[in-house]
Amino acid sequence: MWEQMPEHVKTLCPYCGVGCGLIADTDGPRLLRVRGDPDHPANFGKLCPKGATVAQTVNTPTRLRYAMQRDDLYDDLTVCPPHTAVREAARRLDSIIQQHGPQAVAFYLSGQLTTESQYLANKFAKAYLRTNHVDSNSRLCMASAAQGMKLSLGSDGPPTCYADIELADAHLFVGSNAAHCHPVLFDRVAARVQKGKARCIVVDPRRTATAEIAEMHLAVRPGTDLILMNGLLRLFRDVGKIDKDYIADHTEGWPELNTLLDQYPPEFVARTCGIPYEQLMAAARILIESERLLTYWTMGVNQTVHGTFTSNAIINLHLATGKIGKPGCGPFSLTGQPNAMGGRDVGYMSHSLPGYRSIAEPEHRRQMEQLWGLPAGAIRDEIGYDAVRLFEAMESGEIRAVWIIGSNPAASMPNLPRVRRALESAELVIVQDAYYPTETTSYAHIVLPAALNLEQDGTFCNTERRVTLMQKAVPPPGDAMPDWWWVKQVAAAMGFTAGLRHENAAQIFDEFARTTAGRPNDQSAMHHELLRVKGPQQWPYPAMGRPSERRYTDGKFPTPSGKARLWARDLGPEADATSLEFPLLLTTGRVLNQWHTRTKTGNVDQLNKMDPAPFIQMHPDDARELDLSDGDAVFVRSRRGKCRGTVRLDANASPGVVFVPIHWNELWAPASSPNEATTDDVDPLSKQPGLKCCAVSISAVSANRTEQLPLSLIE
Ligand code: SF4
């Protein structure tokens, strides 16, 4: 007997943070196709190729349908009933906790889980197991933007909304290839620019598809965005285009920032960023002339060891010019994953708690203990390990068990040689995923089959803080179940039932929403039925007070003084600096038609035809120096490891910089993962690794040559 499903179900695209609405057409138990939801305010029916082919990712031969287990990694994984896998997970977790304490257990979660699953896993770990070692792949994605917004504005969460796109006079993209990474959102920008209704500047070391439509492309050297942002604000100041009233009434820190800006004359900025002086001045002129400015940023900023500083510098520009909290204005951090915003709302990182609370704040811990019905002191006061330190602690034997849900760290983490050593040395690795195999399941002792988002009810929150209800369109295959269900079963098998009695996703959401009451991300008046009836809603959506599409419209910020903070941010030393041995810079990123480690998109022929294979993008000048040609097989070597690939010559690359897409890893293209070479040096404030900026050398595979680019080419 199959469950009777409605035939046209409103749900959501599982890929990027734009959060496009989908309608899933079914014939009952079978998914026939998906199409864009014309009523969804994120996309009004439009979809990019990934979203349009979601239906082909559901019933693939690679779907994980049944639980599996083994005693150790030398054995094969064997299929087992769900209750056996649950009992075994509970027994082994309990045994490790008995011997080594709860802090020997870690969780690694994902921005691709529903808010409900993120919430319950986080609650189970921090409230009941009593480990704060809960981190997520958002650490690789948005941690610096989140930290930057918290330090500058008093709260994470972008102040802007998509409606601002049609109201802005100018769009500044910094380290964002939105044309490929946030395509439906970018189409709205492109439409405005192409009609001559707005201007566009793109700051990126590569001439990307985003740069193609821009009036100006500033091909900065990787890692110099902070210098550029300071330099631009200096030029605003020098022509009297800062907003002195806004600075005086709504900010703190201007005197220090003003002094710092003296160190950023345009000649210095142009030279250090590697862009022509005239181009810098022309870009500044465009921005100064524009009344309404949106600045978008994402991985090119966040995945550097000074991503938080650069985020602060971007926000400085908006605060000092008063271009925030107004229509068509604001700093707009673009979220990589579909529900990283939801994850941040529920506090699924090692330093946070639901409702944008912090583990480091005694009052925040007390509030959550009260909300969760825990005794005082139940939540540990020490901050848990961020993603990089979590795997380091696993390698050293301090962390002995990890439960990985909806992520593939054996492909996506930087410095993979270390991550593999860590996973190999763990006593227990539980991997919960919708697909098998993945690079990470190679290290799993227990594998739990997860439902996809089309197979469950739940919510995602997109990059404009809009929460959408995803409704179950088809039943999950085999024994697959929603992620929160597995968490609840294992918790129950370990004896934790009080506080984890939720029967469905709606009940979990209700509890989560209550934790946000009175907090900056208040969504306490939201519930599943409201979202079903009224459609997607943006937070803040408080029970007391009014919803609002834009934040900080009154110039009041959630800081002790009520004012935002202008930070004087100066550039520190490069973490993974180039040298004679490693003279090039490696940068990594997405291509339009693939997603993360291809567990989903690798199954879609249509997408694979458009983006079929990995490549190493190089500027022809660099290739000439190394006597390389288009199509040559090469090694990319760093201080940590090496990967191999095929050279793609492209004049759109910057000289001295090579680009490798992140999607092809061990399963799809052995030895090709760029993360064999990337650095796990982190931003000291956000703990986000500097994936975008790694010193490497390139050498031909066939002749095993070691010639390298002279340093002079990149200086
Ligand atoms: Fe999905 Fe993002 Fe494409 Fe929209 S833009 S369809 S959310 S991948």
Residue 101's contacts (CB-CB under 8 Å, 6 or more residues apart) are: none
C-alpha separations of 612 from 410, 450, 516, 603, 630 in Å: 22, 27, 44, 12, 16
Residue 185 Cα: closest atom of ligand 1: 5
Residue-level pLDDT at 4? 66
Instruction: Tell me the C-alpha distance between 333 and 149, whole Å.
Output: 9
What percentage of residues in the chain have a pLDDT greater than 70? 97
What percentage of residues in the chain have a pLDDT greater than 90? 94
Phi, psi of 466 (to 5 degrees): -100, 125
Phi, psi of 243 (to 5 degrees): -105, 95
Residue 417's contacts (CB-CB under 8 Å, 6 or more residues apart) are: 640, 641, 676
199-224 average pLDDT score: 95
Using the mean position of ligand 1's atoms as its centre, give its distance from the Cα of residue 673 in Å: 24
Residue 12 Cα: closest atom of ligand 1: 7
Instruction: Tell me the C-alpha distance between 72 and 81, whole Å.
Output: 19
Residue 36 Cα: closest atom of ligand 1: 6
Closest residue (by CA) to atom 6 of ligand 1?
Answer: 51
| Ligand 1 contacts CB of residue 18 (under 6 A) | yes
Residue-level pLDDT at 110? 97
Residue 13 Cα: closest atom of ligand 1: 1
Instruction: Tell me the C-alpha distance between 567 and 152, whole Å.
Output: 7
For residue 482, give the nearest of 463, 508, 462 by alpha carbon.
508
Quick check: 90 pLDDT over 80?
Answer: yes
Alpha helices (runs of H) in 154-224, residue ranges in sequence order: 178-181, 183-194, 209-212
| Ligand 1 contacts CB of residue 595 (under 6 A) | no
Residue 545's contacts (CB-CB under 8 Å, 6 or more residues apart) are: 522
**Could you please report the per-residue DSSP string of 489-524?**
HHHHHTT--TT----SHHHHHHHHHHHTTTSTT--T
- Identify the band that residue 194 occupies on the pLDDT scale cut at 50, 70 and 90: very high
Using the mean position of ligand 1's atoms as its centre, give its distance from the Cα of residue 160 in Å: 19
In testing the pocket of ligand 1, which one of 13, 180, 452 has its CB within 8 Å of the most ligand atoms?
13
Q: State which amino acid sits at residue 565.
A: R
Closest residue (by CA) to atom 3 of ligand 1?
Answer: 48
Pairing of strands 105-109, 216-218: unpaired
Closest residue (by CA) to atom 1 of ligand 1?
Answer: 51
> Hey, is 62 helix, strand or coil?
coil
Q: Kindly report, residue by residue over 505-559, the tens digit of the pLDDT.
A: 999 999 999 999 999 999 999 999 999 999 999 999 999 878 889 999 999 999 9
Quick check: 702 pLDDT over 90?
Answer: no
Residue 595 Cα: closest atom of ligand 1: 8
| Ligand 1 contacts CB of residue 466 (under 6 A) | no
Quick check: 693 pLDDT over 50?
Answer: yes
Average pLDDT over the chain reads 95
Residue-level pLDDT at 41? 97
Q: Kindly report, residue by residue over 114-138, the tens digit of the pLDDT.
A: 999 999 999 999 999 999 999 999 9
Is 220 within 8 Å of 173 (Cβ atoms)? no
| Ligand 1 contacts CB of residue 15 (under 6 A) | yes
Closest residue (by CA) to atom 2 of ligand 1?
Answer: 16
Quick check: 203 pLDDT over 70?
Answer: yes
* The total number of residues written for the chain in this structure: 715
Task: Quickly count helices (H) and strands (E) in the chain.
Answer: 24, 28
Residue 183 Cα: closest atom of ligand 1: 5
Using the mean position of ligand 1's atoms as its centre, give its distance from the Cα of residue 455 in Å: 18
Using the mean position of ligand 1's atoms as its centre, give its distance from the Cα of residue 502 in Å: 31
Residue 52 Cα: closest atom of ligand 1: 6
| Ligand 1 contacts CB of residue 48 (under 6 A) | yes
Closest residue (by CA) to atom 4 of ligand 1?
Answer: 20
Residue ranges of domains in the chain, CATH in brackets: 7-57 (3.30.200.210), 67-141+348-459+470-502 (3.40.50.740), 144-333 (3.40.228.10), 584-714 (2.40.40.20)
Residue-level pLDDT at 2? 54
| Ligand 1 contacts CB of residue 143 (under 6 A) | no
| Ligand 1 contacts CB of residue 43 (under 6 A) | yes
Using the mean position of ligand 1's atoms as its centre, give its distance from the Cα of residue 182 in Å: 7
Instruction: Tell me the C-alpha distance between 82 and 446, whole Å.
Output: 11
C-alpha separations of 380 from 122, 206, 347, 352, 686 in Å: 13, 44, 14, 12, 20
Mean pLDDT is lowest, of 120-129, 427-436, 699-708, for 699-708
Q: What angle do CA 157, 450, 43 make, to 5 degrees?
A: 45
Instruction: Tell me the C-alpha distance between 508 and 115, whole Å.
Output: 9
Using the mean position of ligand 1's atoms as its centre, give its distance from the Cα of residue 52 in Å: 8
> Hey, is 285 helix, strand or coil?
helix
Q: Kindly report, residue by residue over 642-674, the tens digit of the pLDDT.
A: 999 999 999 999 999 999 999 999 999 999 999
Q: Kindly report, residue by residue over 248-299, the tens digit of the pLDDT.
A: 999 999 999 999 999 999 999 999 999 999 999 999 999 999 999 999 999 9
The DSSP code for 182 is S
Residue-level pLDDT at 707? 40
Is 622 within 8 Å of 636 (Cβ atoms)? no
Residue-level pLDDT at 3? 63
579-589 average pLDDT score: 95
Q: Kindly report, residue by residue over 591-613, the tens digit of the pLDDT.
A: 999 999 999 999 999 999 999 99
Using the mean position of ligand 1's atoms as its centre, give its distance from the Cα of residue 50 in Å: 7
In testing the pocket of ligand 1, which one of 16, 54, 339, 593 has its CB within 8 Å of the most ligand atoms?
16
Tokens standing for 517? 């009451």
Residue 528's contacts (CB-CB under 8 Å, 6 or more residues apart) are: 457, 459, 469, 505, 506, 509
| Entry pTM | 0.96
Residue 18 Cα: closest atom of ligand 1: 7
Using the mean position of ligand 1's atoms as its centre, give its distance from the Cα of residue 629 in Å: 35
In testing the pocket of ligand 1, which one of 11, 12, 22, 43 has its CB within 8 Å of the most ligand atoms?
43
In testing the pocket of ligand 1, which one of 48, 590, 596 has its CB within 8 Å of the most ligand atoms?
48
- Identify the band that residue 318 occupies on the pLDDT scale cut at 50, 70 and 90: very high
Using the mean position of ligand 1's atoms as its centre, give its distance from the Cα of residue 118 in Å: 21
Q: Kindly report, residue by residue over 368-410, the tens digit of the pLDDT.
A: 999 999 999 999 999 999 999 999 999 999 999 999 999 999 9
Quick check: 113 pLDDT over 80?
Answer: yes
Using the mean position of ligand 1's atoms as its centre, give its distance from the Cα of residue 22 in Å: 10
Strand (E) positions, 47-98? 67-69, 78-80
Q: What angle do CA 440, 443, 448 make, to 5 degrees?
A: 70
Using the mean position of ligand 1's atoms as its centre, give its distance from the Cα of residue 48 in Å: 6
Using the mean position of ligand 1's atoms as its centre, give its distance from the Cα of residue 185 in Å: 8
| Ligand 1 contacts CB of residue 19 (under 6 A) | yes
Quick check: 48 pLDDT over 90?
Answer: yes
| Ligand 1 contacts CB of residue 110 (under 6 A) | no
Residue-level pLDDT at 545? 78
553-582 average pLDDT score: 93
| Ligand 1 contacts CB of residue 179 (under 6 A) | no
Quick check: 37 pLDDT over 90?
Answer: yes
463-481 average pLDDT score: 97
Residue-level pLDDT at 713? 34
